[in-house]
Amino acid sequence: DTEVTQTPKHLVMGMTNKKSLKCEQHMGHRAMYWYKQKAKKPPELMFVYSYEKLSINESVPSRFSPECPNSSLLNLHLHALQPEDSALYLCASRGTPYGYTFGSGTRLTVV
């Protein structure tokens, strides 16, 4: 299995809702990432987990809360988001020799 699986593929949520994005990989990678990508822009790093511990937080607002329950699973909990948070959220994992493997993303729309 050489894939990173993200669910759901699409999500529409209100500004008062709580939702979660899920990312799963079974390649034995011990580093996992969340990226945010706005239209016509490159992916921007949000969080890095290394060996299930948060190692990098790129000053992301607290309405985004990451969680890494085990080495295969990464969640991103969302609460009280703003319309400007609408974007493609990408999960990635890192291992050799294939470098970083990205999932297909979750298209999030905040209404």
Binding site for another protein (CB under 8 A): 4, 6, 31, 33, 41-45, 48, 50, 55-56, 88, 90, 92, 94, 98-105, 107
Minimum distance, C-beta of residue 8 to another protein, in the bound complex (Å): 14
Sheet with 73-79, side-by-side order of all strands: 4-7, 18-25, 73-79, 64-70
User: Which residue lies nearer to another protein by CB, 18 or 58?
Assistant: 58
Distance of CA 26 to the CA centre of its chain: 16
Q: Which helix (H) or strand (E) holds 56?
A: strand 53-57
User: What is the rounded distance in angstroms from the CA atom of residue 92 to the CA atom of residue 99?
Assistant: 10
User: Which residue lies nearer to another protein by CB, 15 or 56?
Assistant: 56
Residue 43 has phi, psi (to 5 degrees) of: -60, 140
User: Which residue lies nearer to another protein by CB, 79 or 107?
Assistant: 107
User: Which residue lies nearer to another protein by CB, 20 or 101?
Assistant: 101
Minimum distance, C-beta of residue 43 to another protein, in the bound complex (Å): 6
User: What is the rounded distance in angstroms from the CA atom of residue 4 to the CA atom of residue 92?
Assistant: 7
Minimum distance, C-beta of residue 71 to another protein, in the bound complex (Å): 15
